[in-house]
Amino acid sequence: MCLSAKIYISSSDLSQMRETMEQGAGFLKVIIVEGNDLAIRDFKSSDPYVVAKLGKQASQAFYDTTAKTKVIKCCLNPVWNEELTFRVKEPVDVLRLEVFDWDRFKFDDKMGHTFLDLRPLASSSKLKRALKLTTGETKLRKVTPDSDNCLLSDSFIKCVNGEIVLDARLRLRDVESGELSVLVKWIDSPTTAVSAKKC
């Protein structure tokens, strides 16, 4: 027999849980979908890959938390469809993406960089919790291109089956051409449950 029971949490424990969530504990999944019109760095093409870094905007310092995609040879419109997962234990503001051309015998060439402000995802995560959204698909917020991001067009932050999702096209900076398509998912740490079942 399975009995449903409420767990009573003291106000200090509840405030500590809230503080943990506001500090950004959870998982960030970054799916590097594709690149378009990337710059030529070899004779007629490039061998691109993407490096993703998490950091804080105020300090412009990035953590050691980095991941990279595989190299796609001889392609200016690569399709990676590669998922990079970060376990986040403290607040981060920015996802920085750098594109490089892989070279066997010399340093890899830069092919531009871009960034995405993650703060709208954090505020959308709070809204999701306040609305108690766990299933279905709900638009939470519209994000428009501005100086805090490299968006090429308006994007929507959605809650899809409990995950905060942003599908974005980003222009590359400091390069003659190029853009990246990414899908970013924020998943709250499972430690936020305030009720349970006892068997």
121, 118, 116: which is closest to 173 by C-alpha?
116
Using alpha carbons, list the distances in angstroms from residue 113 to 12, 63, 99, 117, 126.
43, 17, 6, 14, 29
Q: What is the CA radius of gyration of the chain?
A: 20
pLDDT < 70: residue spans in the chain: 1-24, 57-64, 191-199
- According to DSSP, the β-strands at 48-55 and 195-198 are unpaired
* CB contact burial 3-26 (16+ within 10 A = b; e otherwise): eeeeeeeeeeeeeebeeebeebbb
Q: Domain coordinates of the chain in residue numbers? A: 3-198
Q: Does domain 3-198 have CATH number 3.40.50.300?
A: no
- Give the pLDDT score at 28: 93
- Give the pLDDT score at 65: 79
Kindly report, residue by residue over 138-167, the tens digit of the pLDDT: 999 999 998 878 999 999 999 999 999 999
CA-based torsion, 18, 96, 181, 143: positive or negative: positive
DSSP per residue, 70-97: ---SS-SS-EEEEEEEEEE-S---EEEE
For tokens 């060439």, name the residue: 109
Residue 81 identity (one-letter amino acid)? N
